[in-house]
């Protein structure tokens, strides 16, 4: 049985290795520390270290732990259908982009929401404001990750119709306006409470469409569509890390054994 003194000695040795100039050695130490108990307390102790290399590595460890917690929470909440589309899209963005945080993306949304927020908004007010802000569906060919990450769509006002629909829905919910996301002629659109259809790809055009002409999308289906689009985009852009992360998340949400899915995931 390992004594407390032995555990502390091992931890101290790993902390020393974290400061090694060899990135491979530091990565090995990180991997070992991530499997130890009491890591949160260790990070709290060392995050303000005077040693810049150690401080950076501790920050990396903290990011890994934060994303592990986020991923676990995301999977649990999707499994019991206790998550909004905004939360799912935001958390998937944060999980794969180490430069983003939940609070940062929420603040990006609030920068859009604050000038508009009102007690009760109607469809025309919502759509006019989104146009005024410059939000539009990208017409660039091929899927791109930036078109599906809510942070980048909020920053650059351009993205996939699906992501824009989620942002519009979030904006509306904050002002008493409700709309559901639907598919019409292969495109994502919004259907308001009076059954008006908002065609996002056609510059937010508002029209009436017969009920049988569109399909209301379930929340989980939209999360799956987001992840599938991100898998395709990551593949197009040659981003292997992101390709794996999106694929693994999709597989875990849907109870799929990724290793049994064939190349490039099967065990060698």
pLDDT of residue 235: 95
pLDDT of residue 140: 74
How many Å apart are CA 90 and CA 109, to the nearest integer? 10
pLDDT of residue 266: 65
pLDDT of residue 105: 98
Residues of the chain with pLDDT under 50: none
3-state secondary structure string, the chain?
CCCHHHHHHHHHHHHHHHCCCCHHHHHHHHHHHHCCCCHHHHHHHHCCCCCHHHHHHHHHHHHHHHHHHHHHHHHHHHHCCCCCHHHHHHHHHHHHCCCCCHHHHHHHHHHHHCCCCCCCCCHHHHHHHHHHHCCEECCCCCCCHHHCCHHHHHHHCEECHHHHHHHHHHHHHCCCCCEEEEEECCEEEEEECCCEEEEHHHCCEEEECCHHHEEECCHHHHHHHHHHHHHHHHHHCCCHHHHHHHHHHHHHHCCCCHHHCCCCCCCC
* pTM for the whole structure: 0.86
pLDDT of residue 33: 85
Q: How do residues 53-84 score in pLDDT, each as one tens digit?
A: 888 888 888 888 888 899 999 999 999 999 99
Q: How do residues 220-245 score in pLDDT, each as one tens digit?
A: 999 999 999 999 999 999 999 999 99
């Amino acid at each position: 049985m390992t004594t407390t003194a032995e555990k502390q000695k091992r931890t101290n040795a790993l902390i020393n290795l974290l400061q090694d100039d060899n990135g491979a050695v530091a990565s090995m130490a990180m991997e070992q520390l991530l499997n130890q108990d009491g890591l949160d307390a260790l990070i709290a102790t060392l995050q303000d270290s005077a040693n810049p290399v150690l401080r950076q590595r501790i920050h990396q460890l903290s990011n890994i732990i934060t994303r592990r917690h986020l991923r676990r929470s995301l999977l649990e909440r999707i499994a019991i259908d206790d998550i909004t589309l905004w939360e799912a899209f935001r958390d998937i963005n944060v999980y794969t982009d180490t430069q983003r945080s939940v609070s940062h993306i929420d603040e990006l949304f609030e920068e859009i929401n604050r000038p508009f927020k009102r007690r009760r908004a109607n469809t025309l007010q919502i759509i006019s404001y989104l146009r005024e802000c410059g939000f539009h569906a990208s017409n660039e060919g091929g899927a791109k990750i930036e078109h599906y990450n809510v942070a980048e769509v909020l920053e650059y006002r351009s993205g996939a119709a699906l992501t824009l629909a989620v942002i519009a829905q979030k904006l509306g919910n904050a002002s008493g306006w409700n709309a559901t996301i639907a598919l019409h002629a292969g495109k994502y659109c919004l259907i308001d409470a009076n059954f008006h259809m908002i065609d996002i790809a056609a510059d937010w055009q508002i029209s009436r469409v017969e009920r049988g002409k569109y399909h209301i999308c379930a929340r989980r289906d939209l999360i799956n569509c987001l992840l599938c689009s991100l898998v395709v985009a990551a593949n197009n852009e040659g981003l292997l890390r992101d390709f794996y992360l999106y694929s693994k998340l999709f597989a875990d949400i849907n109870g799929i054994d990724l290793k049994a899915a064939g190349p490039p995931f099967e065990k060698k």
